[in-house]
Amino acid sequence: MEYVVLNGEIIERYQAKIDVEDRGYQFGDGVYEVIRVYNGIMFTGREHLERLVSSAEKIGMKLGWTIEELESLFNTLIKKNGIGTGIVYMQVTRGTSPRNHAFPPAGVSQTLVAYTRDMQRPMNNLANGVKTILAEDIRWLRCDIKSLNLLGNILAKQKAAEAGCYEAFLHRGETITEGSSSNIFIIKDGTVYTHPANNFILNGITRQTLEKLCKANGVPFVEKEFTTADLLAADEIAIGSTTSEITPAVEVDGQPVGNGEPGPVTRKLQTLFQQEIERQCGTLAVNS
């Protein structure tokens, strides 16, 4: 039996019904999060839930559940579904109301949906790296909000998939912003560079964790815009996200990054990141 969260309840997956006029379905009017689970424990769970609250606030929604309530619901869900290594996905929409672009009247309740999925760590990508392409960033100007509207991201990811690649690196003019579903780090002469956390990128929790780890371990970490030319001239490139962890990028648009193999700084970042996972969630099995 698989369970999901619908509003404040944990129910069987196929009992969960959402109205056709839910605003998430009709407008993408809502926000979401993806939290990694290792050894049945949410990794950086607090940070993700705080970002959910903040994304909601940025679109004029005061979340109908507290962080403590959400934590408790998701911990129960993880247990009930027997998740060891996986994810919790959650989304909150502005609720169900007759279709009208303006917000629904006061009193309409938000819709909260959450489910879990078994998902192993991407061991092969972590070890060998992935291929990537460049794509134009056609998204809106509030990429800092983890909004359900992901068309710009989806179209870029599909372009990558059709090119046999894992990720699309987005650029606005000459400036690289982020990946279609990840943050990007370039490494030059031992320094890690990433786009500043402003409205052009999602301030990833992986990115924030990595920044803290770099600062605590003497790895130079700089938030600064960089260009496609800088990206192509980088010694190493790494991709960071909840599901990808710290994945090396070894090719961009068919050109090798550095010598075409994951580099030493990326390996160090991976080690620091894995140590942080193990500190929060316990020892990881060798292959999961």
As annotated, the active-site residues are 146
Q: Whole-number minimum distance, CB 236 to ligand PDD, in Å?
A: 19
Query: Binders of ligand PDD among 201-230, rule CB under 6 A?
Result: 202, 204-207
Smallest distance, Å, CB 175 to ligand PDD? 15
Residue number with CB closer to ligand PDD (206 or 266):
206
Q: Which is nearer to ligand PDD, 97 or 153 (CB)?
A: 153
Tokens 């979401």 map to which residue? 32
| Positions in 134-153 near ligand PDD (CB under 6 A) | 153
Q: How far is residue 125 from each of residues 2, 36, 122, 129, 285, measured CA to CA in Å?
A: 29, 17, 6, 5, 17
Work out which of 111, 183, 194, 266 binds ligand PDD, going by CB under 6 A. 183
Closer residue to ligand PDD, CB minimum distance, 96 or 231: 231
- Residue 51 or 268: the one with the smaller Cβ distance to ligand PDD is 51
* Interface residue with ligand PDD, options 22, 167, 178, 245 (CB under 6 A): 178
Angle at 137 between CA 146 and CA 126, to 5 degrees: 70
Phi and psi at residue 256, in whole multiples of 5°?
Answer: -65, 145
Nearest to 146 by CA among 48, 245, 7, 41: 48
Contacts of 79 (CB under 8 A, 6+ apart): 40
In the complex, minimum distance from the CB of residue 52 to ligand PDD, in angstroms, rounded to a whole number? 11
What is the DSSP code string of 258-273?
TTSS--HHHHHHHHHH
Shortest spacing between CB 143 and ligand PDD, in angstroms: 7
Interacting residue with ligand PDD among 81, 182, 266, 270 (CB under 6 A): 182
Distance in Å, CB of 121 to ligand PDD, minimum:
14
Q: Please, are residues 239 and 273 in contact by the beta-carbon 8 Å criterion?
A: no
Binding ligand PDD by CB under 6 A: which of 34, 52, 73, 130? 34
The amino acid sitting at 36 is R
From 111, 242, 247, 266, residue interacting with ligand PDD (rule: CB under 6 A): 242
The residue within the footprint of ligand PDD, chosen from 111, 132, 147, 181 (CB under 6 A), is: 181
Buried b (16+ CB within 10 A) or exposed e, 221-245: beeebbebebbeebbbbbbbbbebb
If one asks whether residue 243 binds ligand PDD (CB under 6 A), the answer comes out as yes
Instruction: Provide the token pair at 286.
Output: 């060798």
Helix runs in the chain, H state only: 23-27, 45-58, 67-80, 123-128, 151-162, 205-216, 228-232, 264-281
Interface residues toward ligand PDD, by CB under 6 A: 34, 153, 178, 181-183, 202, 204-207, 240-243
